[in-house]
Amino acid sequence: MAVSRLITLEQFIVEKEKEKSGAQGEFSMLLRDLSLAIKLIQREVARAGINDILGTTGQRNVQGEEVQKLDVFAHQILINFFSFRGQIAAIGSEESPELIPINLEKGKYILMIDPLDGSSNIDVNIPVGTIFSIYKRLKNSGPLEAQEYLQKGEKQIAAGYVLFGASTVLVYTTGQGVNGFTLDPQIGEFLLTHPNIKIPAKAQYYSINDADLYNFPQPLQDYLADIHQRSLQNQSPLSTRYAGSLVADLHRNLLKGGIFIYPPTQKKPEGKLRLVYEANPVAFIIEQAGGVATNGMQNILTLEPQNLHQRTPLYFGPIEEMNYLKNFEVQPKPLQI
Ligand code: P6P
Write out the DSSP string of 269-302: TT-SSBIIIIIHHHHHHHHHTTEEEESSSSBGGG
pLDDT at 114: 98
Any ligand 1 atom below 6 A from CB of 179: no
Q: Which of 94, 131, 245, 253 for a ligand 1 pocket mutation test, highest count of atoms within 8 Å of Cβ?
A: 245
- Residue 63 reports pLDDT greater than 90: no
Domain residue extents for the chain: 9-194, 205-326
Give, in order, the Cα–Cα distances in Å from 25 to each of 1, 32, 103, 159, 315: 37, 10, 18, 18, 35
From atom 4 of ligand 1, which residue's Cα is the shortest distance away? Answer: 118
* Class of 205-326 in CATH: alpha beta
CA distances from 159 to 57, 59, 73, 208 (A): 29, 29, 21, 23
Residue in 140, 134, 176, 133 with CA at minimum distance from that of residue 18: 176
User: Closest Cα to atom 12, ligand 1: which residue?
Assistant: 244
User: Could you report the per-residue pLDDT of 241-294, keeping only the tens digit for each?
Assistant: 999 999 999 999 999 999 999 999 888 889 999 999 999 999 999 999 999 999
The domain 9-194 is placed in CATH, from the list 3.30.390.50, 3.30.540.10, 3.30.930.10, 3.40.50.150, at 3.30.540.10
246 CA distance to ligand 1 middle (Å): 6
| Rounded (10°) angle between helices 69-83 and 25-46 | 150
pLDDT at 71: 87
pTM score: 0.92
pLDDT digits (tens, 9 = 90+) for 127-177: 999 999 999 999 999 999 999 999 999 999 999 999 999 999 999 999 999
- Residue 118 CB less than 6 A away from ligand 1: yes
63 lines ligand 1 (CB under 6 A): no
Task: Give the model confidence (pLDDT) of 201-226 as tens digits.
Answer: 999 999 999 998 998 888 999 999 99
CA-nearest of 165, 254, 156 to 201 is: 254
Distance 137 CA to ligand 1 centre (A): 30
> Considering Cα of 323, then 325, then 328, then 333, what sign does the dihedral take?
negative
